[in-house]
Amino acid sequence: MDFELSEEQKMVKEAAADFAKNTLLPKAQEFDEKEEIPTEIYQQLADLGYLGMLLPEEYGGSNLDFVSYICAMEEFAKASAALMISISVHNSLICDAILNFGTPEQKKKYLPLLASGKIIGAYSLTEPGAGTDAGSLRTTAILQGDHYLMNGTKAFVTNGGIAGLFMVFVLTKPELKSKGISCLLVEKGTLGMSIGVKEKKMGLKGSDTRELSFADCKVPRANLLGQENNGFKVALSLLNSGRVGVGAQCVGIAQAAYEEALKYSKERVQFGQPICNFQAIAFKLADMVTQIDAARLLVYRAAHLKSTGKKCNIEASMAKLFSSEVANRVVNEAVQIHGGYGYMKEYAVERYFRDARVTEIYEGTSEAQRIVISRELLKD
Ligand SMILES: Cc1cc2nc3c(=O)[nH]c(=O)nc-3n(C[C@H](O)[C@H](O)[C@H](O)COP(=O)(O)OP(=O)(O)OC[C@H]3O[C@@H](n4cnc5c(N)ncnc54)[C@H](O)[C@@H]3O)c2cc1C
């Protein structure tokens, strides 16, 4: 059993850590306060190959393996979880879906634009009435000649306000319910499409989350991604990447919170000595680092399975479930170690605490992950 990253994977992790530390971390608080990430940051990411990480070079991509990608995502999340989720949706949901399901024309048209950062991608499955039960979505797209006529509302779209291309899941045969779902590529500015106001969130404030609505929105038939009425398969095929990606985000947030707590516990003096000398605090640090290590191993295992083309549904769910719960426990303890200062915006742990909360909710709630895992166990 080999727990070592390859030389290439180590290099990707180190380069991402450098970029995150030098470019993202100094601005992370500002992303949070201003509730946006400046476009120059996306251009810098594109120039360094971080917007086409999983794409082949022929489309302008960096052609990285999935483990390298996950290592980079962990490092980015350590600096800014908001930036990380934005580019993880772009890379592992949009770019990867078009690469795997797109027609040659769709790949040629969209992948170079995505890899070069000329457009950012968004993924839109959730609706106001269809979250965990995503198969019950109600947005329709009825074929009329050479275009689909789309009507409905989508919720919580990450990158909603900055994306140029949206992958939207719709019902093309409403009578077939989840078996009548298709995926359409919808360009920003398509007539009949409206983008809502930016959601005010608890955390990940730099990431842009919006509602989308479609009123007789005309989408060319050529923008169908994958086969008609097979869209739920496209959505399901992306679940593992999304879940392992959120797992990496959790490890990154937790590691950052732990490091802040460790540093603070050595500096803060009470009763004439640093608080790390108190066993109550030292044991918290021991528990934090142990849990983070276990979460990281689960995330890397799932990433390795995915990278080598092996089945990893249960492992991806375990990694997402465990690491999201670890992240929330760790950020809570990091705030506790900071005492009252941890409740103040001046200290980074306040942001980590808010950013971690959503990881137990999106990409499948913790309850949904337990359903996936237990179903697998009880299958026979
Ligand atoms: C910041 C943010 C960004 C997001 N980005 C995107 C995005 O880019 N694209 C996208 O499509 N979606 C996105 N989402 C949506 C996200 O995936 C959903 O919020 C999530 O799937 C949960 O759906 P819901 O909010 O409707 O909750 P619900 O499904 O209504 O769940 C409410 C509660 O009921 C529980 N529950 C539901 N069903 C069951 C069951 N069968 N058994 C036990 N418990 C159950 C849930 O676990 C949860 O605790 C985002 C959400 C957030 C908050």
Beta bridge partners of 153: 213
What atom of ligand 1 comes closest to residue 125's alpha carbon?
Answer: 11
User: How much distance in Å is there from the Cα of 362 to the middle of ligand 1?
Assistant: 6
User: How much distance in Å is there from the Cα of 156 to the middle of ligand 1?
Assistant: 9
Beta bridge partners of 274: 269
| Residue from 333, 363, 367, 376 carrying the catalytic annotation | 363
Q: What is the domain partition of the chain in residue ranges?
A: 7-119, 122-229, 238-377
Q: Is 256 exposed, middle or buried (0-12, 13-18, 19+ CB in 10 A)?
A: buried
CB of 158 sitting under 6 A from ligand 1: yes
Q: What is the pLDDT, as a whole number, of residue 237? A: 87
Q: What is the DSSP string of 208-232?
A: -EEEEEEEEEEEEGGGEESSTT-HH
User: How much distance in Å is there from the Cα of 304 to the middle of ligand 1?
Assistant: 27
- Of 146, 142, 196, 149, the closest CA to residue 171 belongs to 142
CB of 358 sitting under 6 A from ligand 1: yes
Q: What is the pLDDT, as a whole number, of residue 256? A: 98
Mutate which of 124, 153, 362, 372 to test ligand 1's pocket (most atoms within 8 Å of Cβ)? 362
For residue 148, give every residue at least 6 positions away whose Cβ sits within 8 Å of its Cβ, in sequence order, or none: 141, 142, 170, 172, 184, 218, 219, 220, 221, 224
Q: What is the DSSP string of 37-48?
A: --HHHHHHHHHT
Q: What is the pLDDT, as a whole number, of residue 233? A: 86
CB of 322 sitting under 6 A from ligand 1: no
User: How much distance in Å is there from the Cα of 370 to the middle of ligand 1?
Assistant: 14
Reduce the DSSP state of residue 341 to 3 states and report it: helix
What atom of ligand 1 comes closest to residue 160's alpha carbon?
Answer: 8
Say whether 122-229 and 7-119 share the same fold.
Answer: no
CATH class of 238-377: mainly alpha
User: Does 333 participate in catalysis according to the annotation?
Assistant: no
CB of 223 sitting under 6 A from ligand 1: no
7-119 placed in CATH 1.10.540.10: yes
User: How much distance in Å is there from the Cα of 136 to the middle of ligand 1?
Assistant: 13
CB of 319 sitting under 6 A from ligand 1: no
CATH of domain 122-229: 2.40.110.10
Q: What is the pLDDT, as a whole number, of residue 366? A: 98
Q: What is the pLDDT, as a whole number, of residue 2? A: 84
pLDDT by residue for the chain (380 residues), tens only, comes to 888 999 999 999 999 999 999 999 999 999 999 999 999 999 999 999 999 999 999 999 999 999 999 999 999 999 999 999 999 999 999 999 999 999 999 999 999 999 999 999 999 999 999 999 999 999 999 999 999 999 999 999 999 999 999 999 999 999 999 899 999 999 999 999 999 999 999 999 999 999 999 999 999 999 999 999 999 889 988 999 999 999 999 999 999 999 999 999 999 999 999 999 999 999 999 999 999 999 999 999 999 999 999 999 999 999 999 999 999 999 999 999 999 999 999 999 999 999 999 999 999 999 999 999 999 999 87
What atom of ligand 1 comes closest to residue 154's alpha carbon?
Answer: 11
